[in-house]
Amino acid sequence: MEHHIVIAMDGTSASGKSTNAKLIARSLGYVYVDTGAMYRTLAWYCLKKKVDVDDHKAVASLCRRWKTELKCIEGELRHVRLLVDDYYPEKEVRTAETSAAVAAVAAVPKVRDWMKKAQRQCIQFGNLVMEGRDIGTNIFPETDFKFYLDANLAERTARRQAEGVDENLAARDERDSQRAAAPLMIPLGAVMVNNSGQTAEQTSGYILGIVRQRLKEREDARLVAQQKPRW
């Protein structure tokens, strides 16, 4: 955190975290990190290894033993992937079966401890735009760039349905907020962004304006500090 910036993008399901995080990462040239995909990768791996995702001890044991690697993929959007045995299950993590299993896996405290260490290691790749549900509260609570996205339930539900997903978001919100390990909550000092009725460009533009202003203020303060005489 001394040399790299982390923009934490937390929020509810279908609040536009992924879309806006990608737009912001592209605009700033930062590395995009989808922490939800990491949990999905473990959920997929549990299913692959026939581990009961409701058995916390078994899931935690598998998480301790799996062979993983963080890799930064270069391109128009630089992004981090969590490889398992040198493989990234890009399609598999988006199946209905994996989606149904991920909430149980994400609720395991030992899993969240493992994920916290892995996600903090992403800073090795440079400045980050990291999206999830506990970035500003648990993964990088020290960052000065925290945003919490939300939208009304009807609009979020419509967004999910447009993706072909029928999900009870109210129930998901309740599970996430009542989870014992790193529950979904508004980070201290976060900018609240309710993007109901907004386009992704409007939302990301608003967030980018705040980020750029804070970066300018940080740079101005640095220059002032350099000019002060040292006696």
CA distance 113 to 182: 9
- Going from N- to C-terminal start, the domains of the chain cover 1-30+126-221, 35-122
Report the C-alpha gap between 195 and 198 in whole angstroms.
5
- Classify domain 35-122 at the CATH topology level: Rossmann fold (3.40.50)
Q: Provide the phi-psi class of 5: left if phi over 0, else alpha when psi is between -120 and 50, else beta.
A: beta
Report how far residue 122's alpha carbon sits from residue 125's, in angstroms, rounded to the nearest whole number: 6
pLDDT band at 230; cut points 50, 70, 90: low
Tens digit of each residue's pLDDT (9 = 90 or more) over 82-141 = 999 999 999 999 898 998 899 899 999 999 999 999 999 999 999 999 999 999 999 999
* Residue-wise pLDDT tens digits, 170-198: 888 787 788 777 778 999 999 999 999 99
Q: Assign a CATH topology to domain 1-30+126-221.
A: Rossmann fold (3.40.50)
**Same fold? 1-30+126-221, 35-122:** yes
- Mean local confidence (pLDDT), 32-44: 97
Average pLDDT, the chain: 93
